[in-house]
Structure 1
Amino acid sequence: MLVRGERVTRATLTWFVYSAVELRRMAEEAGFGRVEVFGGFDGRPYDESAERLVLRAVREA
């Protein structure tokens, strides 16, 4: 909710959290190949200590 003077604006945010398995499946179902999952932008493995989830996929022509 944002209130500015007499004006009130309400918004709703929907947030989806996907696992690496779900993201890989969605990418493959969308036609992407060579789907890879990493735990950082430097290519480190995605595991329980990963700082982030990075997915790289190539759209086959």
Structure 2
Amino acid sequence: MLLLDDAWFDVVTAGRAVVLSLTPACVLELPLAILCAVTALRPPGMVPVQAAVAQREAAHV
């Protein structure tokens, strides 16, 4: 949530340098905020696919 607030604050207070403020907001802060939200809201039992495949292969050895 703070990343979204920071992106909004940077763009709103940019004055004439709106393009320079939009660039890091759109390229860094918003994708990072989405990644954090998805990670935080993921169910606890959900295992990444690579880890599940590695566990199955290790069991076959």
TM-score computed with the length of structure 2 as normaliser? 0.29
In terms of fraction of residues, the more helix-rich structure is 2
In terms of fraction of residues, the more strand-rich structure is 1
